[in-house]
Amino acid sequence: MPFQNPSRTDIDALLRSARTIAVVGLSDNPRRPSYGVARALQQFGYRVIPVNPTLSSALGERAFPDLAAAQASLKPGERIDIVDVFRRPEHVAAIVEDAIRLRLPALWLQDGVIDAAAAQRARQQGIFTVMDRCLYRDRASLSVSS
């Protein structure tokens, strides 16, 4: 069975309830899509946690080398609500394994980030999974429709 994204209603519910988004592959270059999306997510009120081993910070937030370090940095009661992935498809399987191990609730693979097997594995492990969609565009259209 091919991978199918959740319904728009379910995506909207996720975007309304989320507070903290770990952006895997966030660049500190303002010309990169990951930077523009993450900055817009901050403007929507989300806390953005940069995950990139080559950065010490981005968008005014401390960066972490991986999801485990980002998760470990959180205070009791805080959690990563969505893992937003801006990495090439060949890196997705390892990110999914980290998300499963850390019991993260949602995974979002940005436009062009397609690994149906990894996305299906995440879903089978109870992770809300969206693939090949732009989180920013979905969140922006949510504002228009609210």
What does 103-127 look like in DSSP terms, one character per residue?
T-SEEEEPTT---HHHHHHHHHTT-
Task: Give 75-104 pLDDT, tens digit per residue.
Answer: 999 999 999 999 999 999 999 999 999 999
pLDDT for position 2: 84
Look at residue 115 and give its three-state secondary structure: coil
**Is 54 within a domain?**
yes
pLDDT for position 46: 98
pLDDT for position 107: 98
**Is 3 within a domain?**
no
Query: Which candidate, 100, 99, 84, 78, places its Cα nearest to that of 52?
Result: 84
**Is 2 within a domain?**
no
What residue type is assigned to position 50 of the chain? P
Predicted TM-score (pTM) of this structure: 0.95
- For the chain, list residues with pLDDT below 70: 1, 143-146
Number of domain units in the chain: 1
**Is 26 within a domain?**
yes
- Report the mean per-residue pLDDT for the chain: 96
